Structure 1
């Protein structure tokens, strides 16, 4: 069974074989995200989240770059520039909060530039497959703005405060290998192998029991905001329900 959403701007969505694939599709703009693209991304994420046939969400991008961040040109062209920035930041952050909260594993397949809001998308994912030529950077201060899309909250949790500050304050790009060493990337692969490796990873996880993978994701990602005692109670309740389902 397959499912697509045709009326999307800057995004494609296709679901088949348990995988909901969301593709950023503005290669002419390095997949930078403007407001219509953010809205379409939200529609695609919502569809993948609610579809019971989707067990894994895979996010990738058209062309040589995964995502150059927010569409700076669109912001600069707006009559009310601060309002345009606020509207885009709020819209896109709401999408990423939904993605972060889902109980379905999320994989990113990235190449080229992963910058700004693109880094926010990556941080909302659980596993990241990166082409070796990929460069990851915050890119905010270089254009005179500050982090959004959860980057200031998620990045220190992924790499530590000092490394996060280095990335944010200096804008220094990380290679795929360095990002892997820092914990931002799960695996770095040859550029020609990116699609095959990310598809194989998504297929492998989609074949696992969905309650187990989804709840394991939820337990780990929610651990930042709960006490050790609360986490233990949640773990015991969840593993009991998992056992009920697995051994029925």
Structure 2
């Protein structure tokens, strides 16, 4: 059953958490996903078996949280994560970020390093609004976005199209992490499937090369897709958290 946190920005954030020992684990979901997804649910059960504190939540405009997805942007969702971690967890946390959640996790690590014990990213997509959407648009699409303030793209995960707004693109530029130094003093485990059609392997390689830290590792899983939700992939996520905690 979801609980709710009202944050100062006026948004109501749905969350589920379970108590246990620390450092706790916080799951940060992907673009237009919610906390009922396979990875989030698996991690909930994993944490309970480990007696590990665990928190999952829906960004505003996602799942059971307030707001409209189309009105949201990276800055809003980063703020949601920041507020949730600050209000609902104690001490340093291991952040597990999937796709867009990997970008959010990096922003959180930059903003509140004292509250981060480690990072596990799954097909991390830092700066995807710029290096994915905007870079992939042709001139006509860019003009449509600037003129109409929005553009619709087909989704492989839903019958409903992705609505990409001008605000999402422009706000994304204010939260880039690949255009400036990215020091990470905590253990980092990056997971990436070679058959991922949404986040290319070379994004993972670029992030590995760009991030600075003494304990950063990238694991490539041959044949794994963007969902990264097979039993083998899920077990690897758990093993990566154990590795960070060790």
Q: TM-score, normalised by structure 1?
A: 0.39
Kindly indicate which of the two structures has a greater share of residues assigned to strand: 2
- Looking at CA atoms only, which structure, 1 or 2, has the larger radius of gyration? 1
Instruction: Calculate the TM-score normalised by the size of structure 2.
Output: 0.40
